[in-house]
Amino acid sequence: MDTNTTAVLILVGSFAVMLICRFPIAFAIGISSVLTTMFLGLPLMQIAQLMVKGVNVFTLMAVPFFIIAGELMGAGGISKRLIALSDALVGWVRGGLAMVNIVASLFFGGISGSSTADTASLGTILIPMMRDQGYDDEFSTNVTMCSSVEGLLLPPSHNMVMYAMVAGSVSVGRLFLGGILPGLILGFALMIYSYVLSVKRNYPKGDAFSLRHALLTLKDAIWGLITVLIVVFGVVSGVFTATESAAIAVVWAMIVSAFVYKELTLRKMWRLIERSLGTLAIVMILISTSQVFGWLLTYLRLPEMVASGILGLTDNKIVIMMILNLLMLFLGTIMDMSAIILVATPILLPIAIECGMDPVHFGVVMILNLGIGLITPPVGGTLFVGSAVSGVPIEKLIKTLLPFLAVMVIVLIIITYVPGLIMFLPNLFLPVIG
């Protein structure tokens, strides 16, 4: 066995063993990288240099700002107003609270960019409300968890910023635009399934639609929604970079939360900063260690080996894209989303490009794949949060979750094989010149 093959086995094998042993993902990546570097006889100082290089990226500065903005809007009373707005818009249909849940996730997820934050924030409010009105606990929890994935696709999504950084010359603005239609399609598909189930189970509906009430709730919620508009239109118009728009969004969110809604106290602010720093620390450690891991993958030519292996199986682009989806779905069930973006993108993106997929198209497909993984055992972070918020054991949730997962997979297949659904808005507003 040659040196490169042995090194690959050490890198991938030690990483897999540590995952099975429940090591924190950042430590698993870092330790496996150190072991492989020592085996290859490379200087350990190179690891430190690569880790610093991994986080010394201007675009990456947008991530902490987006995390803080999402926390600010969640702690500043925006959740209640978004729920009220959603109720005014769709609460009148059969299974109205399920529709409210899905639409509220479209709004709140677009602000937080986090599936787990969406589930934790909206779930603590909506799941008890749905329970009181006669909805099954499992149904209420599954709707909350599945609709939270919409926020990963809708701007601003810090996961898309991370993908853009790893993928190289990919516009964050084009990624943001590319996620809008798939996010809306996912929400619409979940609403259709929830409505069918609500009719079948005779779930209740809310008061009749009132235009006046809808306008009043919109007036109250508009200040929070402007945060999203700042980011999207700022980046798309070219007035701000992604980092600048994220920083402005933080300032705006703080003003709205403290002085308009007047729900952001000093105590809440301190807790918010603690949570944000905790999340940011995990993300930055992952990025720095993944830089070393990714460099070793390239040094050992593993991406080329994987690409050759997959392309050697078939030259059918439809089959190759299906294989890529299966790989990402599998990884999403066993690894953290950020880690997969950082480690798998350098391996899978070249294969996707070889199949004719635009990097923006592949990025959105990857985000949805990994979003489905967040609500799939054994590692699914959003699944654990949903179970904790509702008090329903995971084993009880899984059986009723399967039809929701089927709906999400159908949406995934559609956006994979109909790239125009992703590329329409980027090509319309931010066309690539030349």
pLDDT values of the chain reduced to their tens digit, one per residue, 434 residues: 688 889 989 998 998 898 788 788 788 889 999 999 999 999 989 889 988 887 887 767 777 887 787 778 778 887 788 888 888 999 899 999 999 999 988 876 655 667 877 787 788 888 999 999 999 999 999 999 999 999 899 887 788 888 998 898 788 889 999 999 999 999 999 999 999 999 999 999 888 889 999 999 999 989 878 877 777 777 777 778 778 888 888 888 889 888 988 888 888 888 888 888 887 787 788 788 888 888 888 788 877 777 778 878 888 999 999 999 999 988 888 777 887 898 889 889 999 998 899 999 999 999 999 999 889 876 677 888 888 889 898 888 988 899 999 999 999 999 999 999 999 999 998 887 65
Per the structure, how many domains does the chain have?
Answer: 2
Clarify whether residues 15 and 158 are in a common domain. Answer: no
Clarify whether residues 34 and 76 are in a common domain. Answer: no
Clarify whether residues 373 and 332 are in a common domain. Answer: yes
Clarify whether residues 64 and 15 are in a common domain. Answer: no
Q: Is position 51 within any domain?
A: no
pLDDT of residue 378: 66
Clarify whether residues 140 and 264 are in a common domain. Answer: yes
Clarify whether residues 160 and 31 are in a common domain. Answer: no
Clarify whether residues 66 and 38 are in a common domain. Answer: no
The backbone torsions φ and ψ at residue 371, rounded to the nearest 5 degrees and listed phi first, read -65, -40
Tokens linked to 259: 């002085």
The backbone torsions φ and ψ at residue 168, rounded to the nearest 5 degrees and listed phi first, read 100, -125
Q: Is position 52 within any domain?
A: no
Instruction: Check if the beta carbon of residue 98 is closer than 8 Å to that of residue 130.
Output: yes
Q: Is position 237 within any domain?
A: yes
Clarify whether residues 292 and 147 are in a common domain. Answer: yes
3-class DSSP state of 94: strand
Clarify whether residues 135 and 38 are in a common domain. Answer: no
Phi-psi region of 180 (alpha: psi -120 to 50; beta: other; left: phi over 0): alpha
Q: Is position 54 within any domain?
A: no
Q: What is the DSSP letter of 239?
A: S
Tokens linked to 137: 């606990």
Clarify whether residues 13 and 136 are in a common domain. Answer: no
Residue 374 identity? L
Clarify whether residues 171 and 199 are in a common domain. Answer: yes
Domain housing 206: 59-429
Rounded to the nearest 10°, the torsion over CA 215, 217, 222, 224 is -170
256 contacts: CB under 8 Å, gap ≥ 6: 73, 76, 78, 223, 224, 226, 227
Q: What is the DSSP letter of 433?
A: P
Question: Cβ atoms within 10 A of the Cβ of 399, count?
Answer: 9
Kindly provide the b/e burial profile for residues 217-239, where b requires at least 16 CB atoms within 10 angstroms of the residue's own CB.
beebbebbbebbebbbebbbeee
Q: Is position 409 within any domain?
A: yes
* Among 328, 335, 344, 343, CA closest to 378: 335
Q: Is position 50 within any domain?
A: no
Tokens linked to 349: 């993106």
Clarify whether residues 167 and 38 are in a common domain. Answer: no
pLDDT of residue 144: 94
Q: Is position 348 within any domain?
A: yes
Q: Is position 341 within any domain?
A: yes
